[in-house]
Amino acid sequence: MYDPLDALFDFQKALESRLESDWLRNTTGGVGAYPPINVFQQGENLVAVLEVPGVTKDDLEIQAKNNTIRISGKKNISYPDRASVHRRERLSGTFDRTLTVPMQIDADRVRAEYRDGVLALFLPRAESDKPRSIRIN
């Protein structure tokens, strides 16, 4: 039987173990850059997921070229004039990050979805990059 909680737990373990992986290590802006990125494999394509809570859709810019995706934008936070601030943990500012994936992607077919502060980029593998079976004569 499918238990969503077990699935979540397994998934979290998988995420954790991947933190030590060196895949992509030299090709992103580096760990510590904003926003944090997770990359998933979905069939033969890749999905990059980024957490950017509080950023509006209009303040996000995504560019794709060859095997590189650039995500930039800004996060604004405003406080009312006549309020005393007790706690201020949220950060605002600009960001610009590049992700290079180890395969050719079809830049024209990259799809972006933004919902609830999470940006998902669907990166289809380019036709030319797909392996072909060779027939032996």
Partner 1 sequence: MAPRELQVQEKRELQKKEETTVPARIYMPTADIFESNDALSVVLEMPGVHKGNVDIHVEDGVLTVEGRLDFSKYEGMKPVYTEYNIGHYRRSFSLSNKIDQNKISAEMKDGVLALTLPKVEEARPRRIAID
Q: Residue 19 or 134: which CB sits closer to partner 1?
A: 19
Q: Residue 64 or 99: which CB sits closer to partner 1?
A: 99
Q: Residue 33 or 126: which CB sits closer to partner 1?
A: 33
b/e code 69-90 from CB counts within 10 Å (16+ = b): bebebebeeeeeeeeeeeeeee
Q: Residue 91 or 134: which CB sits closer to partner 1?
A: 91
- Judged by the rule CB under 8 A, the positions of this chain that interact with partner 1 are 4-9, 11-12, 14-16, 18-19, 21, 23-24, 28, 31-42, 46-47, 51-57, 74-75, 77, 79-80, 82-96, 114-118
DSSP per residue over 44-75, as a string? TEEEEEEE-TT--GGGEEEEEETTEEEEEEEE
- Please report how close the Cβ of residue 73 comes to partner 1 at its closest, in angstroms: 9
d(CA 82, CA 22): 49
- Please report how close the Cβ of residue 55 comes to partner 1 at its closest, in angstroms: 6
- Please report how close the Cβ of residue 18 comes to partner 1 at its closest, in angstroms: 4
Using DSSP, state whether 107 is helix, strand or coil. Answer: helix
- Please report how close the Cβ of residue 28 comes to partner 1 at its closest, in angstroms: 8
List all residues 6 or more positions away from 71 whose beta carbon is below 8 Å from its beta carbon.
35, 50, 60, 61, 62, 95, 96, 97, 98, 99, 119, 121
